[in-house]
Amino acid sequence: MPDDLKYVAIAESALRAHAGSSQGAIGFWQFVGATGQRYGLTINSRIDERRSLFASTRAAILYFKALHEEMGSWTLAAAAYNMGEKGLLGEILAQDTMNYYHLYLPLETQQFLFRILAIKLIFSSPARYGFMLSKGDLYPVLSFDRVPVKCPREIPIKTVAQAAETRFKVIKDLNPEIRGYYLAKGDHEILIPKGASPGFQTRFSRLVKDFSQTRESRLYVVQKGDNLSTIAQRHNIPITALMIWNRLNSRDPIHPGQRLIVHPQE
């Protein structure tokens, strides 16, 4: 793969995991859902691998290889990546040229290759373009341990953070593909802070056991006439926390007999 393709991710998202577009493209490489799934990304309400640097980059490589095979050049492959291969093929047929620089394309795609070239020039020699960066100005190199996590049931991400002896935010920042506050039942591979893996599995198993044993005592059965506000007031907890624990929003109806997770303040 041409090394310069790495600059496409900067042009697409500025390397922001949660970058989004009006067309529904998400993540480092700005995949729309259908294209991401076509190239192996898991995209659902619990996991969105478009936000994973590693998974989305693997998918982007596969996509670029397919585009190159179809278009015959990396320049056209990059243009197709930006505007979609069907749209570009239509323009090629209508204008009867395979030369990117001779094609009349949407303005964003006309400028796309030049943006990539500008990004390469600046990143290759920032001082030449007025960016006087010291080592302290740079982001730290991404550092982590990768650990398998087996969830016998839905487990709070907070429990993973406790097992890694870190904070909820750190786990979310290292694993931006995880949506919400829980890991679904099943097997996962999670990034945790560098050096946190020794003892992680022991701590995680103990915390999961504690969570499972105490979960029943933290359940509330909805009664007739209840609503989220009255339940929150009764247990002296913020309604926001009640909605987070149960993956609800203020418009979701609740019904008598429904079981809600409640963590009363001590």
Each residue of 141-182: pLDDT tens digit? 889 999 999 999 889 999 999 999 999 999 999 999 999 899
Co-location of 21 and 113 in the same domain: yes
Query: Domain containing 228 — which CATH number?
Result: 3.10.350.10
Question: Domain count of the chain?
Answer: 3
Give domain status of residue 257, yes or no: yes
Q: pLDDT band for position 5 (50/70/90)?
A: very high
Residue 262: pLDDT band by 50, 70, 90 thresholds? confident
The answer as to whether 138 is a domain residue is no
Are residues 155 and 65 located together in one domain of the fold? no
Q: Does 174 lie in the same domain as 98?
A: no
Looking at the structure, do residues 106 and 84 belong to the same domain, yes or no? yes
Beta strand pairing call for 186-193 and 144-151 = antiparallel
Tell me whether residue 185 is in a domain: yes
d(CA 70, CA 89): 10
Residues 161, 107, single domain; the answer is no
Distance of CA 45 to the CA centre of its chain: 11
**79 falls within a domain:** yes
Q: Which domain holds residue 166?
A: 144-215
Q: Rounded to whole angstroms, how far apart are CA atoms 79 and 56?
A: 19
**What pTM did the predictor assign?**
0.83
CATH of the domain at 10: 1.10.530.10
Is the same domain home to 59 and 153? no
pLDDT of residue 266: 43
